[in-house]
């Protein structure tokens, strides 16, 4: 029986042979030739009758790491485009994040988010961004379901003059409409955006941000051109998402759901062989395996989570390897998935470099029930950026913002009132209790226990991107 992945690959290959070529960041070659795409999935077979527990455990670990982005992007898409009155092509504009915002992990509090998802099965969509004030940062980041960052129309790449951009499915062919700058394509029929608009430190600036957000536009191509709409794509019976499903056997049901909406890439041929060895793509059924194999598959998932935990606590983790295009990530599926675990919709390092800081200067996990912490930047040595830098505080294990008495969830170079020391240095305090009235302007409150902080650098200079600028380590002071 033909595996469904083969059918998907062949169909995609026929379309891919005439797909337009775009710049390296804004497009991903889903299948370079029909033969290559056929090869990417042609090795798919029914589960082997001779599958051992050891094989099943390794296959499950590999399959889980490979497909984790598909499932977690479905979780986010379901919340933002399917559930309730949400819909595809409809913007969800947010203000500054609070501890009650749990759609994604590690949200920032400096660039209010605008989310949207587009269904590209029937036709492309057109994104239009407005002209904004020159000193403000904005970017419309677009990802596919594999978590590849496809493009970033906005300040750093295009300036602040606004523009229009075409969002298209992997197999789209056609001419670029007049007035549209370029095509954005990934490896899936659904694309999502996390569009960021900088909130300046001036009083009342949130109203300016809201005015900009309301000018972001998404239109089906037919509407943009003033033409009749094509026939609608078939309706999909989307399953409800339950928090924690990614750690249960239901995970594989979501993989089955989302795989047909992706286009196999020839570089992933080995991963599709692994999926096929477990029967994924033909209606995976855990109960079809004997108990020992079921246990092995579940242990493979646990193995993946153990790797996530170990990698996530590495103080030297490089965000540039977690959030990037296929061309940059290559076959490093663990890094790609770790980016989703640590901060779904993280951006490429040309836009922002994220310094994840899980450990103190003593090499121990940060824990405000045991220590107070501080980071001091010598005079003239704050992070060198074009726009701004910002620390954001997260509670563990959820990696959500932290409730605190002064409602401060981040502290940045644009935070009003941040003071310098007499020698021109700047000290930031990380602790649960206030450091006192004289230091409170520089205080980022922590939970009364384990925490995690991220230093975001927007418009980073070369020393941050290449790693020569040192990542700060909070210095502990025992209570």
Tens-digit pLDDT profile for residues 39-84: 444 333 344 458 999 999 999 999 999 999 999 999 999 999 999 9
Cis before residue 271, ω within 30 degrees of 0? Answer: no
CA distances from 160 to 116, 210, 479 (A): 21, 16, 48
Mean pLDDT along residues 207-230: 98
pLDDT value at residue 249:
97
Nearest CA to 156 out of 178, 172, 140, 176 is that of 140
Q: Do the beta carbons of residue 71 and residue 284 sit within 8 Å?
A: no
Classified as helix, coil or strand, 432 is coil
Q: Do the beta carbons of residue 126 and residue 167 sit within 8 Å?
A: yes
Which token pair is 70? 């598909």
Q: Residue 108 gets which letter from DSSP?
A: -
Domain 351-478 class, CATH top level: mainly beta
Mean pLDDT along residues 141-148: 98
Q: Where are the domains of the chain?
A: 82-225, 351-478
Q: Work out whether the CA dihedral 240, 241, 247, 252 comes out positive or negative.
A: positive
Summarised one tens digit per residue, pLDDT across range 242-294 is: 999 999 999 999 999 999 999 999 999 999 999 999 999 989 999 999 999 99
Q: How far apart are CA 39 and CA 27, in angstroms?
A: 21
| Domain 82-225 in CATH 2.60.40.1610 | yes
Summarised one tens digit per residue, pLDDT across range 6-35 is: 333 333 332 333 333 333 343 333 333 434
What is the CA 360 to chain-centroid distance, rounded? Answer: 26
pLDDT value at residue 49:
54
Which segments of 383-425 are extended strands (E)?
385-395, 410-412
Q: Do the beta carbons of residue 99 and residue 270 sit within 8 Å?
A: no
Q: Work out whether the CA dihedral 372, 377, 383, 389 comes out positive or negative.
A: positive
Question: Is 127 exposed, middle or buried, given 0-12, 13-18 or 19+ CB atoms closer than 10 A?
Answer: buried
């Amino acid at each position: 029986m033909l595996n469904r992945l083969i059918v998907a690959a062949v169909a995609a290959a026929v379309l891919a042979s005439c797909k337009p070529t775009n710049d390296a960041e804004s497009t991903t070659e889903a299948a370079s030739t029909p033969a290559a795409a056929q090869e990417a999935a042609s090795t798919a077979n029914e589960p082997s009758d001779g599958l051992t527990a050891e094989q099943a455990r390794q296959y499950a670990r590999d399959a889980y790491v490979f497909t984790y982005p598909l499932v977690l992007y479905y979780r986010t898409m379901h919340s933002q485009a399917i559930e309730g009155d949400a819909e595809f092509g409809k913007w969800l504009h947010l203000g500054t994040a609070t501890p009650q915002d749990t759609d994604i992990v590690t949200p920032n509090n400096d660039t209010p988010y605008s989310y949207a998802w587009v269904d590209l099965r029937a036709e492309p969509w057109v994104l239009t961004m407005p002209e904004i004030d020159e000193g403000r940062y904005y970017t419309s980041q677009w990802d596919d379901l594999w978590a590849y960052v496809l493009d970033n129309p906005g300040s750093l790449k295009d300036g602040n003059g606004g523009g229009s951009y075409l969002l298209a499915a992997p197999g789209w062919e056609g001419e670029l409409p007049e007035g549209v700058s370029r095509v954005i394509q990934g490896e899936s029929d659904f694309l999502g955006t996390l569009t960021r608009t900088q909130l300046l430190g001036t009083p009342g600036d949130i109203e300016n941000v809201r005015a900009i957000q309301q000018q972001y536009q998404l239109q089906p191509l037919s509407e943009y051109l003033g033409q009749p709409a094509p026939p609608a794509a078939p309706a999909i019976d989307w399953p409800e998402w339950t928090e924690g499903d990614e750690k249960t056997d239901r995970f594989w049901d979501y993989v089955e759901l989302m795989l047909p909406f992706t286009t196999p890439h020839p570089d992933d041929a080995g991963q599709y062989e692994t999926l096929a060895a477990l029967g994924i793509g033909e209606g995976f059924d855990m109960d079809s395996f004997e108990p020992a194999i079921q246990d092995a598959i579940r242990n493979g998932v646990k193995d993946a989570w153990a790797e996530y935990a170990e990698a996530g606590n590495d103080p030297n983790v490089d965000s540039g390897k977690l959030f990037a295009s296929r061309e940059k990530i290559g076959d490093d599926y663990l890094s790609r998935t770790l980016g989703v675990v640590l901060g779904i919709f993280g951006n490429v390092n040309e836009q922002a470099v994220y310094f994840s800081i899980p450990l103190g200067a003593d090499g121990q996990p940060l824990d405000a029930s045991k220590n107070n912490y501080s980071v001091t930047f010598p005079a003239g040595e704050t992070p060198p950026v074009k726009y701004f830098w910002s620390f954001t505080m997260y509670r563990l294990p959820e990696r959500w913002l932290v409730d605190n008495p002064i409602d401060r969830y981040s502290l940045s170079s644009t935070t009003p009132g941040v003071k310098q020391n007499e020698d021109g240095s700047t000290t930031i305090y990380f602790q649960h209790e206030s450091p006192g009235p004289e230091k409170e302007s520089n205080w980022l409150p922590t939970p009364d226990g384990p925490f995690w902080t991220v230093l975001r650098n927007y418009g980073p200079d070369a020393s941050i991107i290449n790693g020569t600028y040192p990542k700060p380590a909070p210095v502990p002071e025992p209570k």
